[in-house]
Amino acid sequence: METLRNLTAQQARDARAAHGSPLYVYSAEALETQAQRALAFPNAFGLTVRYAMKAAPNAAILKLFTTLGLHIDASSGWEVRRAIKAGVPAGNISLSTQQMPDDFAELHEAGIKFNACSLAQLERFGELFPGQSCGVRFNPGLGSGGTGKTNVGGPHSSFGIWHEWADQVEAIAAKHRLTIERIHTHIGSGSDPAVWERVSHLSLDLVRRFGDVKTLNLGGGYKVGRMAHEKSTDLQVVGQPVKEAFAKLAAETGREIKLEIEPGTFLLANACSLICSVQDVVSTGGPDGREFLKLDGGMTEILRPSLYAAQHPIVVVPEQDTGETAEYLVVGHCCESGDVLTVGADDPESLQPRELAKAAVGDLIVIEGAGAYCSSMSAKNYNSFPEAAEALLEKDGSLRLIRRRQTLEQILQNEVCDS
């Protein structure tokens, strides 16, 4: 069975007593450890680590990473504004977006960096800022992800300018006297390290073509093992061949290209625990009968199992630990048959019971690996459940609330009802 990672059983109980459940608890120590690992990524001529803030955009996390020297990768104008409000310097923010914001000109003039993700975006940038510099995101023709839904490269992905349209990029740049100073590629989250390395070489070929490029951003989430049996990417192993490729390019051309990476999952995945409570224990009869643990959280806090068949460690923290175990299907609190946390691996339509400590109503359950794409990507307010609270476990063991639980009044505040 899986065990607790960032919290002791008593810390989990104390956190629930202080702030209720469901509750996300991030570990400052785990966040800092992962940040330092990312900052040590092998590089030949300089490195910028950009936190992909869509993984978890809480201001406390943005502030912590900024103090550690990380920059920001934003996926929307709203994320840019959020990061600036959290104190991130505009010059430390790079925007790669499917939808150019209406206030883009203001954001650009504030100093953010921009990667055009389509020919139309590049054309618009040129019209707004002729003679200036920007980056270009290319679809390298190849992608990889933990699932097909997290693959953002290749012919079935809309992200970036197709690599074969480089002629059109050059033409638009010439038309508006633009300098292409950065190239950005991204293959997906939970990627295969071998594919990531292959795409890095394809990306360097694009760098060769655009002579003014000074920085190559190699996006793509490195595979992170949430379950005990899963392996995680060793950044030192995957980074060394890429460092050598950058050095080779410099030897051939004299161009010393700076590297950017933009981890999200790598930094956050295993740095957060979602604390829930058992609301009910029910069973069904017949030869296929099952025993269910019903939680006070679910797809409103952690959508990944329903969406991707993602596997997360689940640990029961019983009030009375008898040493007994049982097989359970763990389900959420939503009136939705897909609100299941124990789905089959790679198949959200199947169910896979887990052997857990014997549980009773009121017992605490901790869902590990809940740091990336959980609080930020949820079935918000489904069944009118409020957004969960978030807390940060400081390195000295103290717990700091970093997001209050949403109230009913906050859920309703934007509704317009005629009297």
List residues with catalytic annotation: 335
HEC sequence for 129-179: CCCCEEEEEEECCCCCCCCHHHECCCCCCCCCEEHHHHHHHHHHHHHCCCE
The end-to-end CA distance of the chain, in Å, is 56
Residue 68 CB partners (closer than 8 Å, separation 6+): 32, 35, 36, 39
> Rounded distance, CA 136 to CA 113, Å?
11
Pairing of strands 291-295, 272-283: antiparallel
**Complete DSSP assignment for 258-298:** EEEE--SHHHHGGGEEEEEEEEEEEE--STT--EEEEES-S
Q: How far is residue 273's CA from residue 367's CA, in Å, rounded to a whole number?
A: 6
Distances (CA, A) of 175 to 118, 148, 179, 194: 16, 37, 11, 38
Tell me how far apart the alpha carbons of residues 384 and 185 are, in angstroms, rounded to a whole number.
39
* Per-residue b or e along 89-99, where b marks 16 or more CB atoms closer than 10 Å to that residue's CB: ebebbbbbbee
Three-state DSSP class for 48? strand
Which residue in 354, 373, 268 sits closest to 315, CA to CA? Answer: 354
